[in-house]
């Protein structure tokens, strides 16, 4: 990684470009500074076409405007976060900002300014292209020659269907603003500081909750992006099965790296840390260390999802026999989880309570635990006391979208206590986990963890499994793995 070189103070009188200590060049000569200002072709993009989701983001902003008439609404993208010294974490714009703009620029801020009549004027505030007059484009660590070209404000307007302004002037404008204001907190400290005497935590939380609830029902663009994410994820799972022998020779990280390659080639990233849990690690719900051994005869619980370039993510889990064949006990436990998932998926339909799919899956698992003599029945008693949770641990699913656990701060009465509607997308993912140190179960159960997870779209007449291309029944899984290795 190359080092940014120090720059002189900006002769135009602006803030000097921050110099780097211990750079190899102590200064920039006047001759070099003059040379770097000239000889560059015009690279402004013409005939820029709107992004695909522009009509959808406009509709979403209109819905937001209608909910908060007469109030200024401020939704930041967020800023870079330092990883160590002068390196930053990869930037991921805030979900609220992306949902309402389709843009992913660091430091961007969407502002909905109330108009005299009902409604708002929306403006997106962005960093313009890096300055060539003061040397920013080649001397600043975020300059164009260091991190790549930003869109000009004019280009951004055409892409996003929004007026664009220089975000560097926003803090002063917000500080001078009057009237009620709400901001989505937690993403941009500078914006929050400018509004510190104008906002309250309670009112700001109402804004965040409303935007979260907006995302409960997906539009056609979102469903299409989720299907793209799932389709890439299916290919990523196929990639993993093809290299299980190499993972056995190394570790779970070979699986993680294999899936990540598919995510980066076909999308933006993974939507969350991939869980590549082999053997007893499968009993740890969020095993993301991925540093364990991969052994023939054990199970691999792979929970992973590709995030598309528009930031919609899949979330799929399969529990695979590493050698291609389930043992008798592994298959018994796997079949129980599969039966529970089938019951859960069948309960996903418009008009059903959100909780119905969870309850349906848990009833099956509680019955199996009683049948196997692991807990005293009847199943109704087990469910009433929640005793099955020792081995099922988690809920049976969640909403899915721009966040892997989407809509998480929506009001409880519209989410967990709500009713399913066409366009909602959720996971159905029951599991059974027998910890390696659980002395309440027979020794042969210990260290076995099974989860099966699919992404389910609620339709007008029932549901559609977006991840149906990945087999689920044990015999189908075995045949699929054999076909990939042949």
pLDDT at 12: 43
Helices (H), 197-290: 201-214, 220-242, 244-249, 252-266
- Report the pLDDT averaged over residues 131-137: 92
The continuous run of DSSP H or E covering 121 comes out as strand 120-126
Q: Domain coordinates of the chain in residue numbers? A: 54-214, 220-485
Domain 54-214: assigned CATH number: 3.40.350.10
Which pLDDT tens digit goes with each residue over 70-93? 999 999 999 999 999 989 999 999
* pLDDT confidence tier of residue 13, bands split at 50, 70 and 90: very low
- The strand pair at 72-76 and 109-114 is best described as antiparallel
Q: Which CATH class is domain 220-485?
A: alpha beta
Which pLDDT tens digit goes with each residue over 354-403? 999 999 999 999 999 999 999 999 999 999 999 999 999 999 999 999 99
Residue given tokens 């070209």 in the structure block: 149
- How many Cβ atoms sit within 10 Å of the Cβ of residue 377? 14
Query: Is the pLDDT reported for residue 7 higher than 60?
Result: no
Query: Is the pLDDT reported for residue 11 higher than 60?
Result: no
Read off the pTM: 0.95
Mean pLDDT estimate for the chain: 95
* pLDDT confidence tier of residue 117, bands split at 50, 70 and 90: confident
Measured CA to CA, the distance from residue 410 to residue 418 in angstroms comes to: 11
Percent of the chain that is helix, strand, coil (3-state, to 5): 40, 15, 45
Q: By the 8 A CB rule, do 255 and 302 touch?
A: yes
Query: Is the pLDDT reported for residue 329 higher than 60?
Result: yes
pLDDT at 486: 79
Query: Is the pLDDT reported for residue 99 higher than 60?
Result: yes
Radius of gyration of the CA atoms of the chain, in A: 26
For the chain, the first-to-last Cα distance in angstroms comes to 42
Q: Which of 17-21, 131-135, 316-320 is least confident?
A: 17-21
Tokens of 350: 């418009």
- Report the pLDDT averaged over residues 9-19: 56
Measured CA to CA, the distance from residue 412 to residue 111 in angstroms comes to: 28
**Helical packing angle, 356-371 and 328-346, nearest 10°:** 150
Residue given tokens 């926003």 in the structure block: 170
- Report the pLDDT averaged over residues 435-439: 98
Which pLDDT tens digit goes with each residue over 31-60? 999 999 999 999 999 999 999 999 999 999
Q: Quick one: DSSP state of residue 279?
A: G
């Amino acid at each position: 990684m190359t080092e940014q070189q120090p720059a002189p103070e900006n002769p135009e009188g602006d803030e000097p470009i921050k110099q780097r200590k211990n750079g190899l060049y102590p200064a920039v000569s006047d001759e070099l500074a003059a040379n770097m200002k000239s000889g560059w072709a015009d690279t402004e993009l013409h005939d820029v076409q709107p992004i695909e989701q522009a009509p959808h983001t406009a509709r979403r902003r209109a819905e937001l405007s209608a909910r908060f008439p007469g109030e200024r609404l401020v939704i930041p993208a967020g800023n870079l976060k330092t990883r160590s010294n002068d390196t930053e974490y990869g930037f991921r714009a805030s979900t609220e900002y992306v949902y309402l703009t389709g843009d992913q620029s660091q430091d961007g801020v969407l502002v909905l300014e109330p108009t005299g009549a009902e409604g708002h004027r929306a403006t997106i505030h962005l960093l313009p292209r890096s300055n060539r007059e003061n040397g920013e484009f080649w001397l600043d660590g975020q300059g164009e020659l260091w991190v790549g070209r930003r869109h000009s404000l004019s280009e951004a307007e055409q892409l996003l269907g929004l007026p664009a302004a220089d975000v560097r002037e926003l803090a002063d404008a917000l500080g001078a603003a009057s009237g009620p204001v709400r901001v989505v907190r937690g993403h941009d400290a500078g914006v929050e500081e400018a509004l510190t005497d104008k906002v309250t935590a309670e009112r700001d939380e109402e804004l965040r909750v409303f935007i979260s609830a907006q995302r409960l029902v997906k539009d056609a663009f979102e469903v299409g992006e989720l299907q793209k994410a799932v389709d890439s994820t299916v290919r990523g799972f196929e990639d993993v099965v093809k290299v299980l022998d190499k993972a056995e020779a190394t570790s779970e990280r070979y699986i993680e790296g294999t899936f990540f390659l598919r995510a980066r080639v076909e999308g933006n990233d993974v939507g969350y840390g991939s869980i590549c849990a082999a053997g007893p690690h499968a009993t740890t719900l969020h095993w993301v260390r991925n540093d364990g051994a991969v052994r023939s005869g054990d199970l691999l619980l792979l929970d992973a999802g590709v995030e598309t370039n528009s930031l919609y993510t899949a979330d799929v889990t399969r529990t695979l026999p590493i050698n291609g064949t389930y043992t008798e006990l592994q298959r018994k436990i796997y079949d129980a989880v599969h039966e529970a998932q089938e019951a859960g998926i069948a309960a996903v339909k418009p008009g059903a309570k959100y909780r119905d799919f969870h309850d349906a899956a848990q009833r099956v698992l509680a019955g199996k635990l009683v049948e196997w003599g692991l807990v005293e029945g009847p199943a109704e008693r087990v469910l009433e006391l929640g005793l099955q949770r020792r081995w099922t641990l988690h809920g049976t699913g969640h909403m899915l979208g721009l966040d892997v656990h989407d809509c998480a701060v929506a009001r409880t009465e519209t989410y967990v206590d709500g009713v399913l509607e066409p366009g909602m997308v959720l996971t159905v993912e029951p599991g059974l986990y027998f910890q390696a140190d659980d002395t309440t179960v027979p020794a042969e159960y210990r260290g076995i963890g099974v989860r099966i997870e699919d992404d389910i779209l609620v339709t007008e007449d029932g549901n559609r499994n977006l991840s149906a291309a990945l087999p689920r029944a044990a015999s189908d899984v075995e045949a699929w793995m054999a076909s990939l290795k042949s």
